[in-house]
Chain A
Amino acid sequence: MPKNFTSTATNKFHGGIHPPENKLISSSRAISKFDSDKYFRIQINQSSFQNIEQAVEIIVIKGQKVIQGEALTTFQPLDRLNVPVHSPCDGVVSDIELFDCAHNSSFPEMTIVIKAEINVDQNRSVTKIENQWKAKSQSSLINKIRKAGIVGLGGATFPTHIKQSSPLKTDISTPSTLIINAMECEPYITCDDRLLRGYANQIIQGALIVSKIVGCERIVFAIEDNKPEALFAVQESINLLAENKIDLSIIVAPTKYPSGGEKQLIQIVTGHELAKQQLPKDLNILVQNVATLFAVYQAIVLNSNLIGRLVTITGNLVDAPGNYWIPFGTSFSHIISQFNVPEKDLKFIIIGGPLMGQKISNFDISTSKKVNCLIFNKRVTNVEIKECIRCGECEAVCPIKLLPQQLYWFSKSEQWKPMEQLDLKACIECGACDYVCPSHIPLVDYFRFAKSEIKHLSSKEKTSELAKQRFDNRESRLTRIKLERKARQKKNALDRKQASENKSVDPDGKKTAILEALNRVKNKQNNTNKINTGITGEE
């Protein structure tokens, strides 16, 4: 390895904010043991972008015994999106039911309840198949990743196998790059930081596996400068790497929110902006979060499925804030009791960071692949929402260079068209504008609402257009049939007339009789033909 593979970022994105980080609350404690619950509630849909028609199938029944890591759902082979979920413990399926969940939609989800039989925290002996992966084919690696139930663990939960299934191209202008996203720019969250400090080797291994899968020329590890310990750990582990086949470098970026956003990260690393409709793969780039890479390592090298993750438990109501391995399906109320959170002070829990996260006041739900951080804070004084004073602060910080103030103006009067013209769709809902707004206007809420409304309207438009088309088709078909029928009648009448005329001319009637017979046959043929075509036309 070259000595100076670490460099500081030279590119930056527009705007951005510097909210108080509040990371020390949880990052100062090493990863510690978490006493698991007896019951786990596993939602069967834990990745974003699940398609309802392609829903996963539950393959366990009530009362069935399961072992740790056993798959509870299948994924249909042709279905590109779904990933399975797995049992976090040895136990029995005690229930399969609808339960509330932490999804944005807040609809209850089909959930499998598992009652643990033996101690969950007991480590299973793992069969290490180290280095065997190098011999495996790319497609078998991807399948393995999918079977292990891996989704993007940075919070977006996009199925990882989809991202990896489009190979990067070799292009001279932009080298194919795997970017390891270790920015962790949201306040409070420290699970990636802690994961890196403890498992840097494994994460780098995971990155090597992914780089083999997508076939990239270089790996860039991107981290903010507020995590020196993690950076050091990664440098150490890169130094240890024996092989030197791939170009592995580190980019240290100044701390600024939202540098961990995919688009912003690409801008920091490469200096390029993704055009509208462009995906990272169009720039020959794949971005993966460190927790995802660790899960890849676990799946490929340790042969274990994704059944839990490192979660940051933090906030001023928690008695031992820190990062804990928490199995998926652990209920929030169990976590509340484990960390002695006084329930009377707790109005809501924040899932994810304070800027892009979600506020939950129903504690009867459980963790999933999406939950990377739980914040238990005592509610501080309510702020007052004032009118927009058009100060332009929001525009100055927007990483997408939108005009939040004008978007807000139009969304208040529900004028969706001008909002679309102002590129509402490009908004990444980072909340930077919210944060700086002196009038404390919940701008992102307005934008989310407008987005869903526009989506709804456009789908309605589509269906009504479809209906109209169908109607038009039917109309034209009916008129066509009518016209055909008329033409037929006319022709028949004409034929009849001709026939009678012929009769009168022909004295002995023989010729006429023959002609008539011929005509009849012909007419019959014509008619049957026409009827046939009429019918087929209708079909």
Chain B
Amino acid sequence: MKNSPLINSEISTETRSTNQLMILVCAGLIPGAITQFYFFGWGILINLILCSSFAISAEALVLKIRSRSILATLKDNSALLTGLLLGLAIPPLLPWWMSFIGVYFAIIFAKHLYGGLGYNPFNPAMIGYVLLLISFPLAMTNWLPTQELLILKPNLIQSIELTFLGVTNELNNIALIRTMADGFTMATPLDHIRTSLSQGFMLSEILEPSEQNSSFSINSLSWIWVNVAYLVGGIYLLFLKIIRWHIPVSIIASMIIVSTILSIIDDQIYLSASDHLFYGASMIGVFFIATDPVSASTTQKGRLIFGALIGFTLIMIRTFGSYPDAFAFAVILLNIASPTIDHYFRPKVYGTKTTVKQIPEKQTPVKQIPIKQIQENKSDDDFKGLNNE
């Protein structure tokens, strides 16, 4: 091409490339990942390493099959990001082959069968997650309680053994670890609340710190910290302008509005906005999953709608659906809708809303210039054609 990118060769070293963007998003996950590691132990680290290496190997494999340049494409770090997101979403000490299935399905089916980066209509990590959730519901909802509550804390070696073999000599198996926890806790706060509600408890009883549910409050505190850490990472992304504010702000706003309306209706059944925001996968979802540009809406107005609908769907499924957390479902549902949203929420092109109406064609005789030469054979169309070029 003759006029090929001048800019790119001259000055755009100043703007961030796709490769840089992806690695910066990965970096944004660090605070959350460290916090999760602190509260939930070695299993998190093992998941991260496993999933990201699975993701990279899957990507390399597909590129090889599609005979694309492997190194150049791997450098865009998108596979790494998918692996990391999935690794943080699945429960620690999940059997390795389940991670393997999830990641390979995400990369091969959800990403490359659609044409690779830029063409995937769904967030690959979430597709992998949902596949695992539907296929292995028990294992996927078995979150370990926070470390503080564990009497038997698996160390690194034991964690590896548990992940790969399912058993370890000293501790036996995961089920045992869970039951050996200090008092009986359901895995995540949202899980616990849902089960308790279904047993006829009221929210005030469930959430109130008391002797019986001290372990619950310890556990939920760790989840709050995890969400705060992701919030910090997300604000860092916003600050560096790696993601735009539209999606996070609209999700959070609509979560707050919807949950507040519900809790006004009955605050003994419906959780408050702050509980929704800081339990479960809220913050990682808001800042790192819903903002995935490829599968989200692209116009600014569209993104506001997209985010608002995710928030709404999320609260609805959490409250009335059969899954305690539903970020993956909400995001995937809205991924389906995003082309339609884009179509209906285009920005108004320059010149479509004019502030000045056409000036009426009355000419004051004083200002008229008699230019014979030029005004002969003058037609207005000519003029228009000219300047519009």
Contact = CB atoms under 8 A, between A and B. Distances in A.
Contact of A403 (B294, B347, B386): B347
A512 interface: no
Contact of B7 (A173, A358, A434): A434
19 contacts: A19-B7, A78-B377, A138-B369, A142-B374, A158-B386, A273-B353, A357-B6, A375-B10, A383-B12, A386-B19, A387-B119, A389-B117, A391-B298, A395-B299, A401-B350, A406-B298, A435-B12, A442-B4, A448-B3
Contacts of A382: 9
Nearest to B356: A272
A390 B293 contact: yes
Interface in A250-308: 263, 271-279, 282-284
Given A273-B354, A434-B5, A162 B12 contact: no
B31 interface: no
B67 interface: no
B293 A277 contact: no
B383 interface: yes
Given A138-B369, A273-B351, A422-B346, 13 more contacts: A14-B347, A142-B369, A158-B386, A187-B10, A272-B354, A273-B354, A276-B352, A284-B359, A384-B72, A389-B18, A389-B118, A391-B293, A395-B347
Interface stretch (B215-223, B251-259, B360-368): B360-368
Contact of A278 (B353, B358, B375): B358
B276 interface: no
Contacts of A16: none
Most B C-beta atoms less than 10 A away, residue of A48, A171, A275: A275
B138 interface: no
Contact of B10 (A263, A284, A377): A377
A445 interface: yes
Interface string A395-428: 1100111110110000000000000001101100
Contacts of A403: 298-299, 346-347
A170 B8 CA distance: 46
Interface string A154-181: 0000100110011111110110000000
B373 A440 contact: no
B157 interface: no
Contacts of B355: 271-273
Nearest to B4: A442
A435 B373 contact: no
Interface in B369-386: 369-378, 382-384, 386
B349 A402 contact: yes
Interface size class of B (residues with CB under 8 A): 35 or more
A215 B363 CA distance: 12
B5 A440 contact: yes
Nearest to A162: B386
Contacts of A358: 3, 6
A144 interface: no
Contacts of B303: 392
A124 interface: no
A373 to B, nearest CB: 12
A436 interface: yes
Contacts of B364: 169-170
Given A49-B389, A77-B373, A78-B373, A442 B5 contact: yes
Contacts of A138: 369, 371
B356 A167 contact: no
A435 B347 contact: no
B204 interface: no
B356 A80 contact: no
B9 A279 contact: no
Contacts of B352: 275-276
A390 B367 contact: no
Contacts of B370: 139
Closest 7 CB pairs of A and B: A387-B118, A400-B350, A391-B293, A354-B10, A275-B354, A215-B367, A442-B5
A20 interface: yes
Contacts of B19: 386
Interface residues of A, number: 90
Given A273-B355, A390-B296, A165 B371 contact: yes
A324 B17 CA distance: 37
Given A170-B364, A389-B294, A380 B384 contact: no
A273 B388 CA distance: 15
Contacts of A139: 369-372, 374
Contacts of A326: none
Interface of B: 1-21, 72, 76, 78, 116-119, 244, 293-294, 296, 298-300, 303, 342, 346-356, 358-359, 362-364, 367-378, 382-384, 386-389
Contacts of B372: 139
A445 B350 contact: no
A435 B15 contact: yes
Nearest to A443: B5
Given A14-B350, A395-B299, A383 B5 contact: yes
A28 B17 CA distance: 32
A106 B3 CA distance: 11
Interface in A107-157: 138-139, 142-143
**Quick one: which of A350, A387, A423, A437 has the most chain B CB within 10 A?**
A387
A329 interface: no
A530 interface: no
A351 to B, nearest CB: 10
Nearest to A22: B11
Interface string A191-217: 000000000000000000000010100
A380 B10 contact: yes
Contact of A275 (B8, B351, B376): B351
Interface hub of B10, B16, B384 (most chain A Cβ within 10 A): B10
B40 to A, nearest CB: 31
A358 B6 CA distance: 8
Contacts of B358: 275, 278, 282
B348 to A, nearest CB: 6
A440 B118 contact: no
A439 interface: yes
Contacts of B362: 169
Nearest to A432: B7
A442 B20 contact: no
Most chain A Cβ neighbours within 10 Å, of B5, B9, B119, B354: B5
A431 B12 CA distance: 11
A299 B359 CA distance: 33
Nearest to B350: A400
- Of A142, A389, A426, the most chain B CB neighbours within 10 A belong to A389
Contacts of B2: 106, 359
Nearest to B347: A401
Given A386-B18, A401-B347, A435-B15, A396 B244 contact: yes
A61 interface: no
A438 B16 CA distance: 6
Nearest to B12: A435
A320 interface: no
B237 to A, nearest CB: 12
A454 interface: no
Given A390-B294, A435-B15, A442 B351 contact: no
B107 to A, nearest CB: 16
B7 A276 contact: no
A60 interface: no
Contact of A167 (B11, B13, B359, B368): B368
Contact of A426 (B294, B299, B346, B349): B349
Nearest to B10: A354
Nearest to A352: B6
Contacts of A283: 356, 359
B47 to A, nearest CB: 26
Interface string A443-471: 01100100000000000000000000000
Contacts of A375: 10
